[in-house]
Amino acid sequence: MPVLALKLLFSSTISFLITFYFVPLLCTIAQKFGVVDVPDGLIKVHESSIPYLGGVAVYTGFISGLALVFPLENSIFSLLVGSTLLLFIGLIDDLVVLKPYQKFFGQVVAAICFIKGGLYLKEQFFHDHLIIALPISLLWILTITNAMNLVDVMDGLATTIAFTASCSLFVIATLFHQENVMLLLSSFMGPLLAFLWYNKPPATIYLGDAGSLFIGGFLASLPFLFSWSTYNSYGFLAPVIILGVPLCEVGLLILIRTYKGIPFYKGSPDHFSIYLRSRRGWSKFQVLCFVALASIVLLGVALLVTFNKISLTSLIFIGTIYLVMWLIVLFK
């Protein structure tokens, strides 16, 4: 077996096992110290208090698996620093509840860490126009980070979205022969899969803000390690497609809350997963299957874009159809 395959198997297995066996301990600690998600009957409709701290288990497994196989580089160090910072910001919010502006300020600092380490748009046009590339990169990081935080309102949902998106990125990294990115993703997917065992319906532990922010920051910054313009000048749109589910969530939430006169950062039961369950009568399992199926379709489109198999006009047409179908599923 090739050395790379052994490293991938080793990192994913170690990270999986560490998270899998660490979760029960964190459940006990969370219950003992009251770090739990209490039902509110509005968005949090679970029957009893559920422990947070799941994100700590995912992070611990990820770092442990990665440390054993990965060579430290400047951009990777920045990715780890920024992701770790987001983990601690979320953990503080889980423990003491930060005000929205405090939480956002911490996210901006983390995003700057990513960018300072070279994790920003560098593809062709953007390479010579940093005044455009840097603000777009900052907006992208903040959007995906908060999108993953927003979708984390149902058992297994954020974890499933993160895992399927990671699988999609792993497929492209494999086709690009980007070994370091493959190692990063294998160390990341192992803990997600292990955590999903406990987070699937009915969940016994949640990611908490610590987990959703860490996962969001990782998924937002990782695409900047890819060489998207290898086959297509607008290949950098592939991550936008792969992360289409959380992006649709944040976009619709902003529109709906603005229409209702609610600040977009305030909680409300307008999430797509809640709509599907309350208005369409779907089970949690059906919602997760829908998300997984949507992710497979998005991967197919992302591959077509990455390898220049469809035009930009065709992509816009497909994107429009996707959005229309998304709205029909939600509001039919």
User: End-to-end distance of the chain based on CA atoms, in angstroms?
Assistant: 51
Pairing status of strand 36-37 against strand 50-51: antiparallel
pTM above 0.85, yes or no: yes
d(CA 21, CA 133) in angstroms, rounded, equals 42
d(CA 210, CA 207) in angstroms, rounded, equals 7
Instruction: Count CB-CB contacts under 10 A for residue 266.
Output: 9
Cα–Cα separations (whole angstroms), residue 202 to 81, 206, 281: 33, 11, 17
pLDDT in tens, the chain (332 residues): 588 888 899 999 999 999 999 999 999 988 888 778 776 555 555 556 788 889 999 999 999 998 888 766 656 778 888 999 999 999 998 888 888 889 999 999 999 999 998 899 987 667 777 888 999 999 999 999 999 999 998 999 999 999 999 999 999 999 999 998 999 999 999 999 999 999 999 999 999 899 999 999 999 999 999 989 888 888 999 999 999 999 999 999 999 988 888 887 787 888 999 999 988 899 999 999 999 999 999 999 999 999 999 988 999 999 999 888 888 887 77
Cα–Cα separations (whole angstroms), residue 155 to 82, 196, 298, 316: 26, 9, 22, 32
Q: Which two tokens stand for residue 43?
A: 């968005």
